[in-house]
Every structure is written in C-alpha cells, then in structure tokens.
Amino acid sequence: MQAKSYFGVKKRKAYGLCGVMLTTILLGTYSLTVGADEVRPGTIDTGSLSQELTENRANSSSTGMLNPEMARKEDKQTLEVDIGNNANTLNNEASFYEDGEKLSESMNPSQEQKTEVAVLTNSYVTTSSNQETDDVSETNQNQSRFLSAIKQGAMDGAKEGVLPSITAAQAILESGWGTSSLAKAPNHNLFGIKNSEDWTGETVTVPTQEYVNGEYITVNAMFRKYASWNDSVVDHAKFFTSTEWRKNNYRKVVNEMDYRIAAQELKNAGYATDPSYAGKLIRLIETYKLYEWDEMSSNSITTLENVRVASHDPKADLAITGLNNVTGSYDLVISNLVAPRGFKEVLVPTWSEKNGQDDIIWYKAAKQANGDYKVTVRSSNHKGDSGLYNSHVYLVDNAGKFIGLGGKQATLDITKTAGTLTIANNDKNRGTFDVVITNLSNPSGISGVLIPVWSEQNGQDDLVWHKATKQEDGSYKVTISASQHKWNSGKYIVHGYIVDASGKNIGFGATSADVVAPKKIGSASRGNYDVLNKIVYLDAGHGGYDPGASYFGISEKSLTLAIQSRVKAKLEAEGYQVVTTRTSDTYVDLTDRSRAANASESDIFVSIHINASGSSAAQGIETYYYQPYAEYPSRINATYHANPTRLSMSDTLANAIQSSLINATGAQNQGVKRQTFAVLRETTAPAVLLELGFLSNPQEAARLNTSAYQETLANAIVEGIKAYYEKESKV
C-alpha cells in the first residue's frame, strides 16, 4: 500500500486506527483527544494542521475538508478524520500510541457541559478532573475510593521507573475519575489502551466512529480488558518501556524523580498536544497530594535495596556446550544464576587469542525457557579465526555496575570460508563488467552472495552492495554498471561476502576492475525520452521502521523486497541493468527515492507495493501513474513531472504491466488509475506504482506470502516491462 505524500513527506499507513473516535456510547459527553505517534513523534494541532504530516497520521484542514492527499485508492483509505465538522471536537488531551493501539478519553467539558459530565453514583457527584478542587479536603468519597483502588497499581508501576503520582494523575485525567464507560466494570480500561499483537489478555469490542468515503460510520474496535483498575494502571506504566521506540521517546520521563519535570517531559515527548497537559497533571498531583505516593515508593525501594546489599554476591555456573568445528561455533550456558540485588542483563565479552582482543565482541546473553542464559559464539563474528577463544561473563546490576561471574575457554579448529572472484566482460563502451564467483565453500552453509563495489574516485561515496545471482553451473554472477556508481571512471574495488544460513556475512576475497565510463548519452531520468538504455529502477515500498501494511503476521515491506529481488534477477538475466532503492530492511525517505532514481540514468521507475483496505473483502491488482494537481506542485521535478511525453509513456508502462499481471494471476482487475503520489510526481522518468493485492484480504494475504505466487508476480512484471520496451522502441 503506497504511503501517499503530496510534498514528498513521509507518511505511514494506518489501518482503521488513526482517526478513530469513540462513539457517544463510550465517551458520553466527553471530548476525544489525539496525541503522540509511536513511530515518528509528532502531534496534531487542531487549530492549524501542518501540511506535512507523518505517514500514519490523518490529514484534515481546519475547515473540516479532507486534503486531496487523502483521496483513497478505491476503498482502501478508510480512516480520515474531518476535524472541523466532527461533533466530538478534538481537544488535545491524551494520545494515540503506536499504530493507534491507545485511544484515550479526556474530560474537558465546556462550562455549559459540566453539569452533564457529572455522574451521580450513590448520591455522590463525581466530576471531571478539570473541575478542579482548591483543597484536598474537597475530595469526595468516590474520588477517595478511586485513589485507593489505583494506589497499589501506581506503586507497582514505579518499578518501571514511572512516578506513581504521574500515573495516578493521568488515570484521573483520562478516565474522569473512572467514570468513562470503558473504565467501568467489567472493562476497567482507564487509559483507553487498544488491543495489539503483544497483548495476551482479554479484550472488549466497542463501537467506534471512522471516517469512510466522506462520512462517519460505526465500526467495532477492540480494546484491552482488565480484571481491575489496578491491572490497568500497572499495564499503563509498562507501556512506556514496552518497545525500544518508547524507551527512547520517554527516556526523560522514566526514572525522573521530580513529578513537575516528569509531567513536562511527558508533554515534550508528544504524549499529548494540549499545551496545558503538564500543568493539569501537576495541578492534580498537588491538589490531591499524590507526591506523597512518590515518597512512599522511593522509601520502600531504598529499604528493600539495603536489605539486599546485606546478602551474598551474585554467582552462577558456566559451561561450554555445542562446540562445532564445522559451523565454527559453540554455546556458553549460564545456569543456576543467583543475583540477590537483581540485575538488568548478562554480558559475555568474547575474543580469540590469535591477535589479542582485536576481535572482541560483547554479547548479550538470552534468557532460556528453563531460566538459564545462553550465548552462541560464531567464529564468523571473530574474523573466522581458529584457536583458543575466551568468554567471560558479567552481570550488570540495576545501578549499571559490572560484576564478574567467571569465564570459560574453548578451542575451535575452523574450516575456512572460500571463494574465487573473477572479472569478466569488461565493456568499456558501456562502462559495465561482470563479477563471477566460483569455488564457493562455507561450513555454515551459503544462502546468498553479496558483492560490495565502489570506485576509488571519491572514497566509498558510491558504495553499492550488489546481490549476485546463482547460475545453473552453481557459480554466482552480478553485472556492475558505472551508472550505479555515479558514472565514475577508474579503479573499482570489488569484495565478496557469503551470506551463511544464519544470515551472517562472511568475507572471502577481493579484486578490482579498471572501468572506463562512457559519456552520458542522456536518459529518461534526465528528461531525454527518446533514449532507452535498458536501465530499470525498482523501488521496494516501505522498509525499516515503516512496515507498510501488516496483517496476519505478514508485513508489506518484506513482500515488496522479496518480489523486487525476483524481478531484479529476471531482468538482469534478460540483459537489463537494474538499480534499486534498497536491498535490505532499511527506511528510505520518499523524496530520496526519487532523487536516487533521477540520478540513475534509468529509463523507467517501478514502485512495488501491497494494498490494504478497511474491508477484508477488497481484492485485486491495480496500477497507478501520475495525475498532476496544481495545488501540489513538484518540489524537485518541476520541469518534467507534468511533461505530456512522460505521462503518455507512463500510461503505456502502467497498462503493459497491469495487463501482464492480470493475465498471469487471474486476479480481480482493479484497473489503471492515476494519483499524485510523491514517487510518481518527483521522478523524471516514466513512473508507475503497483499494488499487487490486498494484504487485508485473508485469501490474498495467504497467496502473496507464498514463493510460487511471488514468482508468478515477478514473471508478470518482467513481461510487462519487456512489452513496454518493445512498444517504445518501435515508436
């Protein structure tokens, strides 16, 4: 599914998560709030929305009209929010978390609404948190019960480094003292945390509102369900450290001992867009003396630590197991580990004695199901050295102190990785040469061969990791072109790496080639549409921290890369040169993709994506080419983006590939369409974007995840590209 951008800004997909609002059944008369984004921090300002939003953020204007950027691909974009016209006004109080997994309720009614917000329970009035009292003596019985119910959970949450006062104040603010429908029994969800893949507990399905096809519809969303408010509070504290992104984003909140600083850092981290959010938390903490909870928590931790210090030092049993000279590996097992004062991690620095500690690696031991810790040491990580290996074990305590637990030695007699690199077919008219790899051997297996190449002209500024293709005789080959290396002439450095069965890269040799790059004859990527160089630019959508569509445990970024790899190998076998955006799981900015394509001397640009929809019934294949929009001018391609020749050739390319895909797969034909996607707008060459099926459809997802179907898709794409070249060469 294409991440759409009209200004080349990164946008990640959201699938019915962003733009979701709880219905009146859930919120009563309370307002909805929107806040932080897990992947790329940023906030929505309902007063003046930025034109440049991140990839999983709903985009609306202050007038309530949807930005054309949110024009759907048929029915796949189902999640936009009409902020201006929504009856439930966004009031910027709490936050969406990663992929919309947390949808918070807040209590910020107008003066006229305050009487409606009040909830009568056993003759007591429980008011919104924003109806602040001036003195703790005004705390009513319901509020006292609420604080008592969450206190232990807030204290337990302190173990995650979150001040109890902060957790309690957020619970008050986001649930209205536990009066929101989701917060009440049997759900007990105080913070509106939605269901996610890492949640193994119970869930509750609640009607929510989504903006679909220009109108709001009611859909069902799943939220986490807790046995008690206490459990909800504990889970919320863990939420801040449950992913690497959150650990980094909220690092100034976690372990902060001053609630005033913690509240402000929570706001600074993007948890809420309300400029007064920190002040509201501080006001609640000071009004209800919640800072006393912080003092209690600190004292209990200190007392416990003093007791632990008096006990004996950490100890463990160490053993070498699984020594294998064929694979060049062994395991170090740490068992019967006793650490009275607790610990954060177990580290195992390891090195071979061949050249001192020049190959030392600090491994992090992994906890096993039986409670042991284990590290697997591979010689491939240590320059492939044979001989004596040293592995020492250190416990890292909660204060960051390293405590030695001992060490073990092992001797490895390594069978070396080997291979021969040969330069062939050095064509000085085209600036190309082949690298042929023969006599390959590796004790831990061969899953692939990588050939990093760069010219000496400017260091390694043109370094490209090329993937070699296995030939029928068992050798590997890759064609290198000066077009992939800034058209540099001179000496090219060529290295060889075997990728073993575990995915590790093992070097086996190096060579070089003298290259004479031809004068650039122009290309479509430079606006010369009369030239066909048989250079194709392939763009595997998404990557890195941007997974694209994700359903049934399958991510779009993995599928696009797998299909691209097949297309590349097939095109190269047909004599085409292929340039790619990425060859691994890395993120590349949309505008950077276009810049790389424009510098590649390529004839065409083909971006590979997988679709998604709010409806699991949606299916089929569709292909896009550029539709100019005057209100979204090109940033880097002003001269050629609307060039009629480019658009006509893009049309030809789109229809050739779409026809080939439908004929080969029998998939539902969603047709050739037009959109102003950034990669179609900012590329100079004829450009298309392929949506190869709907990952949200269970049947299509299963088919897309098979090697056989990926092969079918790749063959069809190649045939479509060949048909385009044949037609254009005759024009």
Closest CA to 721 of 649, 653, 651: 653
Spatial distance between the Cα atoms of 342 and 396, rounded to a whole number of angstroms: 9
Spatial distance between the Cα atoms of 464 and 451, rounded to a whole number of angstroms: 8
Query: Which helix (H) or strand (E) covers residue 352, if one does?
Result: strand 345-352
Backbone angles phi, psi at 99, to 5 degrees: 55, 30
Q: 448-455 and 464-467: which strand pairing?
A: antiparallel
Active site (catalytic) residues = 691
User: Do 637 and 682 form a contact (C-beta atoms < 8 A)?
Assistant: yes
DSSP 112-142: TTHHHH-EEETTEEE--TTS--SSGGG--HH
């969406």: which residue's tokens? 96
Under DSSP, is residue 540 helix (H, G, I), strand (E, B) or coil? strand
CB atoms within 10 A of CB 729: 9
Spatial distance between the Cα atoms of 447 and 70, rounded to a whole number of angstroms: 42
Check residue 696 and report its DSSP letter.
T
Contacts of 143 (CB under 8 A, 6+ apart): 126, 177, 288
Under DSSP, is residue 513 helix (H, G, I), strand (E, B) or coil? strand
User: Do 532 and 729 form a contact (C-beta atoms < 8 A)?
Assistant: yes
Tokens of 656: 């050739």
The whole-angstrom distance between residue 1's C-alpha and the CA centroid of its chain comes to 14
- The CA distances from residue 85 to 30, 31, 63, 70, 727, in Å, are 16, 14, 7, 16, 50
Contacts of 662 (CB under 8 A, 6+ apart): 621, 669
């048909």: which residue's tokens? 723
User: Do 665 and 621 form a contact (C-beta atoms < 8 A)?
Assistant: yes
Closest CA to 9 of 688, 677, 723: 677
User: Do 661 and 692 form a contact (C-beta atoms < 8 A)?
Assistant: yes
């899953």: which residue's tokens? 447
- The CA distances from residue 328 to 72, 355, 360, 414, 444, in Å, are 53, 18, 16, 6, 8
b/e map 399-435, b = 16+ CB within 10 Å: eeeeeebeebebebebbebebebebeebeeebbbbbb
- The CA distances from residue 472 to 480, 501, 582, 709, in Å, are 20, 21, 26, 22
DSSP 177-234: TTTSTTTSTTT--SS-BBP-TT--S-EEEEEEEEEETTEEEEEEEEEE--SSHHHHHH
């299509």: which residue's tokens? 700
User: Do 91 and 106 form a contact (C-beta atoms < 8 A)?
Assistant: yes
